[in-house]
Each structure stands twice: as structure tokens, then as C-alpha cells.
Structure 1
Amino acid sequence: MTALALTGSPLWYAGRAGGTLALILLTATVVLGIASGGRAAPRRIGRFEIGLLHRDLSLLTLVFLTVHVVTVVLDPFAHLGWAVSVVPFGASYRPLWLGLGTAAVDLLLAVLVTSALRVRLGVRRWKAVHRLAYAAWPLALFHAAGTGTDTRLPLQLWLYAGCLASVVAAVWWRLAKAGPGRLTGRLVAAAAATAVPVALTVFLAAGPLQPGWSARAATATLLLGGGR
């Protein structure tokens, strides 16, 4: 049984739709950022046009992320407060998986703020913070898989698989086009592109796809949320 059957609230529909669209747009943003960087940048399209598309996708991601956060907090099913949207792992409902989503939101907010202060920070510092968007993506993916009450639906699983395959393919494309140097960075990227699919597959098989996942998540709520 899903939360859809439990609540029937329009806020639940809006929250899930906003979160799903935010994940898709974040995936597209990350894929574009990875695949168009360095020597992998396409020659037929100018960097200015790529930059505009990247910015527009980022803004759309934030719009639907805002919709997701607001509607989830307003939905009476989970009884969440506004502090949960910025303070990770403080929720009484599935705190671990909600905390991953909050951490992803905080990272994206850091990217947004530093982008507004790009001139004052300088390009080097701004790029260092901007890379946090790459870390936000796997957090958002595991948040969706662990918290989403529709994770077991085939369509949702295919959506997660598509997002995962797109980012992994972009990473390997970038590595294939990379020139010499920065060996450490390439090794880290290759390790992450291998570890994330394995970790997500194992997690899904042992967690949300198994019977009783909601009960186990509730148990984790009592342990991590202080028995609230």
C-alpha cells in the first residue's frame, strides 16, 4: 500500500510530481555539465549557448525542487516542519532518507548563493563550490529511492535507471575524451561511476523492493528520531 492510498491528498501528488521532475532536471543539468566540460565540449555548439541551457535547467530544477519541498512540508501525512527543509536528519519520518534529500537541497543552495556572488568569490572558488552539484545528485537519487512510496512501481524504477545510466554514460564519455593529467580526478570519477550503480542496486534489492520496507523505515524513524 502506498501513501497515495493512505492520504489521497493533492499535496501528495504535487510533492511526488515535483520531486520526480526535480530529479529529472537535476540529472539533465549534471549530464550537460559533465559531458560538455573540458575536451568533451561539442564544437558545433558555442559554450555560451551551452552555458545558457545549463543555467536554465538549473533554474527549472530549483523551481520544481521548491514545489517538492513546500508541498511535502504542507502535506499532513508525514507531519514535517519547515526546519526539515534545511536541517538534515532531523525529521521524525524516515529521517535518514529525508536527510539525504535535505543535504542535497543544502548543496544546491550553496551553489545558488555562490553563483550570485561569483564576481566577488573569483572563478576558482566558485568552481570549487559549483562541483557540489555533482555530489547533490546521488544524494537526491538515494533520497528518492529510499523515501518515495512509489519506488516499487516499474515506471519509477525505469526512471531511476534512466537517470543513473545517463549520468554514468556522461562520466565515461568525459573520461574517454579527457587528455593526459589529473589522474587522481579521473580515478575518483571512475570509482564513483562504478560505485553508485552498485550501491543503488544493492540498496533497492535489500530495501525498498523487499516486503516490509515501510515497517523497517518506521523502525529506523524511532531509532534515529529519538522515538518521536
Structure 2
Amino acid sequence: MDKLEENQRSALLFTVVFTVIILVASVWITRVISPSVTQANMMYWLIDRSAGLISYELLSLSMILGLSMSSGLWDRFGRRNFAKQLHHFSTLLILPFLALHLIGLLGDASIPFTIANLLIPGSATYQPFLTALGSLSLYAVIALIASTYLRQRIGQKTWRTLHFLAFPTFLFVTIHGLWLGTDSHSLIGILLYVVPLAIIAGLVMERIDRAKSKQKAKTTAA
């Protein structure tokens, strides 16, 4: 993921601001019109669920685009630049939705979480292992995005190595969502996890086969 152009940064800033406005408006409306604890918990629960699923689908889209670009798929259709920009946006937009996901968890008093529970892996009393996977994934996403902006300083090799964090991150988030997510108990919810997982697994296998073919060709030529 290369550094965003000015127009892309502006679009991202607008999205983040718009997301915050929606959050603040939702909290205000709930507290003023329906201030009961039960209704407030329901609102935060919905924010948690929706933001978590959107974050997962954005991560899935980012990985699918990244893997398909490396295979040259988009070059065949002359749409590499489009795929590249969409890859940029889908990765960066994970952050505001992760923020909404955390705020939803903090606001829902039915399962009390502290900021420390969400940010320190293993400190939560509720499903500590699965919650820790979510915390680790949060840091991994931040590291991936930060490495892009520090690419010139850390070098291409380090950047590429850090980029491989995307694979365990996706696995962690998939486990986290499937076992903790409320929607994973429905068929549609399961498909929202299984379909991206299957596509990414297929692209990874294709990438491995391609690497083996290149290595075999080099060995034969030698």
C-alpha cells in the first residue's frame, strides 16, 4: 500500500469526521430521547456488531485486492490503478470502524469492558483469549498502516516483511469474529466470514503455486 494522494487523504478525513458525527448523534439521541440503560446498551451493541463486521469485510477486501494485484489479475483488465486505490481506501477505512467497534464495546454495560481490557491482550475477564486476538489484530492493523507511511525510512525489505502481518491478522480476526460475534450464529453471518476466507485461501494457494513454478523454472534454467 503506497502513501495516499492528497485527494485520497481528504476523502478519508471526510469519512472519519462523518463517522464521528454519526456516533455522537446516535449517543445523543439515545440519551435524550431514550435514556434507559437497556436502550442505551442495545444501541451500543448494534454499533459494536455493525462496526465489527464492516471492519472485517474491509480487511477482507483489502487482502483480496492486494493478493489479486500481486498475481497480475487487474493488469489483464487494465484496472490496476483502480484496484490500488480501492486497496488504499479499504485498508485505511478499517481504523474508524475499529474505533466505533471499541466504543460500542465500552458503552454496552451488559458486558463491562474497560479501555485496558480492550487494549491490553489477555486482561479481559470475558473470553480473554478471543478478546486478546482482537486486541492483537488492532495493533497489527495500525502497524501495517504506519509501516506504509514510514516505508522510505524503514526500507522496502522491512516494509514487505511487516506486510506479511496481514495473514495472521486476518486469521486472528476471523477466529475472533466467528467465536465472539453474535451474527456468526446465523447462516448469513457465517457466510460473511467463510466466503472471504475461501477467496483469500484460494488466492494464497495460487500465489504459492506461482512461486513454486518460478523456482522450478529457475532451477531448470540453471
Q: TM-score, normalised by structure 1?
A: 0.70
Q: Using the alignment, how far apart are the partners of 1:123 and 1:55 within structure 2? A: 18
Q: Using the alignment, how far apart are the partners of 1:28 and 1:75 within structure 2? A: 28
Deviations 1:85-142 (A, max 9, x none): 3221110111111111111111111112222211111111111112212221010000
> Which of 128, 137, 151 lines up with 1:118 in the alignment?
151
Structure 1 residues 173 and 41: alpha-carbon distance in aligned structure 2, compared to 1, 3 A threshold: farther
Q: Using the alignment, how far apart are the partners of 2:73 and 2:205 within structure 1? A: 11
| Paired residue type of 1:16 | R
Q: Using the alignment, how far apart are the partners of 1:103 and 1:6 within structure 2? A: 31
Structure 1 residues 74 and 7: alpha-carbon distance in aligned structure 2, compared to 1, 3 A threshold: closer
Shift of 1:49: 3.4
Shift of 1:67: 1.2
Q: Using the alignment, how far apart are the partners of 2:151 and 2:75 within structure 1? A: 25
Structure 1 residues 150 and 53: alpha-carbon distance in aligned structure 2, compared to 1, 3 A threshold: closer
Written as runs of structure 1 = structure 2, the 5 A alignment for 1:37-186 is: 37-38=70-71, 42-45=75-78, 47-178=80-211, 179-181=213-215
- Structure 2: give runs of 5+ residues left out of the alignment: 1-37, 217-222
* Alignment partner, residue 221 of structure 1: none
Q: In percent, how many aligned pairs have the same letter?
A: 25
Runs of 4+ in 1 over 3 A off after TM superposition: 5-8, 38-41, 46-49, 175-179
Larger radius of gyration: 2
2:67–2:203 Cα contact (<8 Å) kept: yes
Deviations 1:165-188 (A, max 9, x none): 121122233334444229xxxxxx
| Paired residue type of 1:104 | S
Shift of 1:14: 0.7
Structural RMSD (CA): 2.3
SS in 1 for 2:215: coil
SS in 2 for 1:22: helix
* Structure with a larger share of its residues in helix: 2
Aligned residue pairs total 178
Q: Using the alignment, how far apart are the partners of 1:118 and 1:177 within structure 2? A: 26
- Structure 1: give runs of 5+ residues left out of the alignment: 183-228
- Of stretches 169-178 and 158-167 in structure 1, the one that deviates more from structure 2 is 169-178
* Alignment partner, residue 32 of structure 2: none
Q: Using the alignment, how far apart are the partners of 2:84 and 2:118 within structure 1? A: 29
| Paired residue type of 2:111 | A
Q: TM-score, normalised by structure 2?
A: 0.72
| Paired residue type of 1:180 | K
